[in-house]
Structure 1
Amino acid sequence: MIGSISGQIKAKAARLDPSNYGRSDTSAVGRWFWEIDKVLLLLLAVLIGMGLIAVAAASPAAGERYSGGSVRFSELHYFYRQIVWIGVGVPVMIAISMMSRERAKRMSLVGAAIFFTLLIFVPILGPEVNGATRWIDIGIGQLQPSEFLKPFFVVSMAWLLSLREQDKSLPIFPLSAVLVGAVAVLLMKQPDFGSTIIFASVWIAMLALAGVSLRVLGILAAAAVVGVILAYFFYPVATVRIDGFLFGEGDNFQVENAMRTLTAGGLFGMGPGAGTRKFGLPEPHTDYIFSVIGEEFGLIACLAIACLYLTIVARVLIKLLDEDNSFALLAAAGLVIEFGLQALINMMVNVQLAPSKGMTLPFISYGGSSMLALSIGMGLLLAFTRRNPYLTRSPYVVKWSGEQTA
């Protein structure tokens, strides 16, 4: 009896041992293990781990600000909640990364339709928080449709732009412009100027990768400049933030205090839990968590995080240099550009190089919607960058995860 149980345990352990996933293993887990970009997966794991440490450092300040004197709020309230969100988000990321490209594309098209529809209803159903209406209350929490729309929008746009290869006469570029414009209008109503910039910038980058002429890109660049100028004169949110950033007018407490907090720790920081300026920061666990990292762990830690984001973006873009599937190239490049751009904007706000945007730092900031949406996006990225390292790439036929493309 004991021998039988021992044999069953050894058999299960053998199935779970990564060394047993040989090149001939055709199971879903076996194919995933050999095809996944393990370096990219490791970089994302390191980033999530750093984020958990950062939320632990910011949690006491956030708890004091938002507890309202409630005894239910412990110093690590947001840290414990972030552990829960990571526990949900990471399995979602792994599950999506195991999908085939075709299945990931179909899921993204459906997801884009669902969250675009929810985005329409945000002004009607959503509660106002700090002057913005960006969330929908779903009972157990608040859902931010724009965060979930980002990865699905990128993949859907990649699919749309890739259709031009099949039929040059299709009005793909004008249609994509209409879709981006519709999303931008809905976001500006919330208002969410930062996300509007990300959607538009990623779209332009994908157009460049899709082969749009330099003349068209120049026109779009000029239109973007004109759009910002018009927003300054006719969009009050943009007016206030640009005036504050350029001329120091209005309430600049947030960005100025963030910069003072970030530099308070010097090169090596004041030490975990030793920061004091973070208690005066608005949103220390979300928008301004980069400043908390600077105070407690130093500018060296901030530089390390910035380099980590850069490494992730560079890793994906370099890997795509020999990608021959236009849809996969556009989808993966768009996802990593959107990821890197969001990180760049957040860090620029914290160092007073950009006006306040109300944007989280990917996988570092606290947030349920943010963590789940980013996990979906990175799961899709891992799915589109999967590659069997033991197959020789041919200019005629390349085999991907059981799929065959000419």
Structure 2
Amino acid sequence: MTEMVYGAAPVKSGEPVLPRWWRTVDKWSLSCILILFGIGLLLGLAASVPLAERNNLPQFHYVQRQIVFGLMAFAVMFVVSTFSPLMVRRMGVLFFFAAFLALAMLPFFGTDFGKGAVRWYSLGFASVQPSEFLKPVFVIMAAWLMAASQEINGPPGKSISLALVLTIVGLLAMQPDFGQACLVLFGWGVMYFVAGAPIPLLIGLAGAVVLAGMVAYNGSEHFARRIDGFLSADVDPTTQMGYATNAIREGGFFGVGVGEGQVKWSLPDAHTDFIIAVAAEEYGLMLVLVIIALYATITFRSLMRLMRERDPFIRLAGTGLACMFGVQALINIGVAVRLLPSKGMTLPFVSYGGSSLIAGGLALGMLLALTRTRPQGEIGDHFLRRGHGG
């Protein structure tokens, strides 16, 4: 009965890694991740065909690549999810320095692929977007610093993490990639709040973000154009936002039918940033609600499991990863329905993209590792022992 209520199962002596992993991992979240990827492949069968034809490639070229990337992502997710929190922390800190260096070198060795923002390294056969990999490992780095600052005579971890996040946000804004910059800042802010940040400081940081947005609006034509398009009362039907809005309107509750959608022939990013518009047009609001429910399930189940953790690093890192994952999905969907300005952000595990998928596998692998049930690892156990005088 105790295991059913609290989810804490004792470690069996000499138990193999795979059975122990299966017994302790959050199977609901794992199932939701698999379903999201399946939906992504289903939508990719429709959304990527026009792009393949425009590039004189086989019809299902991008779907086949997505399957390969997906297998790689799930392999990474499984391996990382078997790690202990200590191994997750060590790996995250080491990978952070590599990802940070890759991000810093983008202005010198990166490419924009004609999109106006230098965000990628071209490898010839594929491309890599460092910011996708930096997000999850930065969460681990920041959580480690914040947790260390809570120890007696610990380092000024919160101040160091603040300096790091401001540096990263500055590098991302230079690309420009304001969407990823906001997401990184949000993830850090959530962890800082959970770590016990003073409210006046958070208000001051929010004011600084607004001021930075005003400066960016006046100094970046790319940023100003997106904000003006979002604030405009009329949507240009020939823009990506116009096509996406019309597709969602045409889809209604149950969609126009599988393969009958037209937005995929007009939107160049239908298979990536605006994949939700394809889902809404062909399958209707019902599929969109299912997708939202899947993201919400992963995010809230992770947060509920983390609430019982007494280790500060696990709580902070897990909260940052879960919130960043959920908010990225929220931003992507919000852009498609014109609740937010265009960000150029993928829908995790649904949009096409190697960097997005593999980095997502890394992030969710770490989240699954941190939310696995551990004996005597919950804060309730700690209070229970204190109540018995232990």
TM-score, scaled relative to structure 2: 0.90
Tell me what 2:92 maps to: 108
- 1:241 touches 1:356 (CA, 8 Å); kept in 2? yes
The one of 165, 187, 194 aligned to 2:179: 194
Decide whether aligned partners of structure 1 residues 385 and 128 sit closer, same or farther in structure 2, where only a CA change above 3 A counts.
Answer: same
Q: Deviations over 1:151-199 (max 9, x none)?
A: 1001111101101111367433322121111111111111111000001
Q: Rg: which structure is higher?
A: 1
| Separation in structure 1 between the aligned mates of residue 284 and residue 49 of structure 2, nearest angstrom | 18
Partner of 2:365: 379
CA distance, structure 2, for counterparts of residue 227 and residue 390 of structure 1: 45
Worse-matched range after superposition: 206-215 or 136-145: 136-145
The equivalent of 2:382 in structure 1 is 395
What is the aligned-residue RMSD (CA, Å)?
2.2
1:45 positional shift:
1.2
Aligned twin of 2:41: 52
Q: Secondary structure of the equivalent of 1:64?
A: helix
The secondary structure found in structure 2 opposite 1:322 is coil
- Equivalent of 2:294 in 287, 301, 308: 308
Q: Show structure 1 runs of 5+ residues with no match.
A: 1-21, 399-405
Mapped partners of 1:286, 1:381: distance in 2: 24
Write the distance in 2 (CA, Å) between the matches of 1:81 and 1:264: 30
Structure 1 window deviating more from structure 2 (349-358 vs 215-224): it is 215-224
| Alpha-carbon distance between aligned partners in 2 of 1:50 and 1:146, rounded to the nearest angstrom | 25
SS at match of 1:104: helix
Q: Displacement, 1:208? A: 0.4
The question of whether the paired residues in 2 share the 8 Å contact of 1:123 and 1:133 is answered with yes
Q: Which amino acid aligns with 2:248?
A: L
Of residues 317-326 and 114-123 in structure 1, the stretch that sits farther from structure 2 once superposed is 317-326
Give the C-alpha shift of residue 131 in structure 1: 1.0
Per-residue deviation, residues 89-123 of structure 1 (Å, max 9, x unmatched): 11110000001111111110011000100101111
Asked if the contact 1:261/1:278 (under 8 Å) is kept, the reply is no
Q: Which amino acid aligns with 2:382?
A: P
Kindly indicate whether residue 365 of structure 2 is the aligned counterpart of residue 366 of structure 1.
no
Aligned equivalents of 1:74, 1:268: Cα separation in 2: 30
Answering whether residue 148 of structure 2 is matched by residue 159 of structure 1, we say no
Residue in structure 2 matched with residue 19 of structure 1 by the alignment? none
Contact 1:61 1:284 in 2 (8 A): no
Which residue of 1 is the match for residue 20 of structure 2? 31
- Give the match for residue 7 of structure 2: none
CA distance in 1, matches of 2:97, 2:22: 31
Match among 45, 51, 74 for residue 62 of structure 1: 51
Contact 1:188 1:196 in 2 (8 A): yes
Q: Secondary structure at the match of 2:360?
A: helix
Farther-moved stretch of structure 1 (283-292 vs 257-266): 257-266
TM-score normalised by L of structure 1: 0.87
Question: Which residue in the other structure is 2:256 paired with?
Answer: 270
Q: Which consecutive unaligned segments of at least 5 residues does structure 2 have?
A: 1-10
Q: Is contact 2:132-2:355 (8 Å) kept?
A: yes
1:138 Cα deviation from its structure 2 partner: 2.6
Distance 2:156 2:77 in 1: 34
Per the alignment, in what secondary structure is the counterpart of residue 307 of structure 2?
helix
Shift of 1:218: 1.5
State the 1:394 CA deviation. Answer: 2.5
1:397 Cα deviation from its structure 2 partner:
10
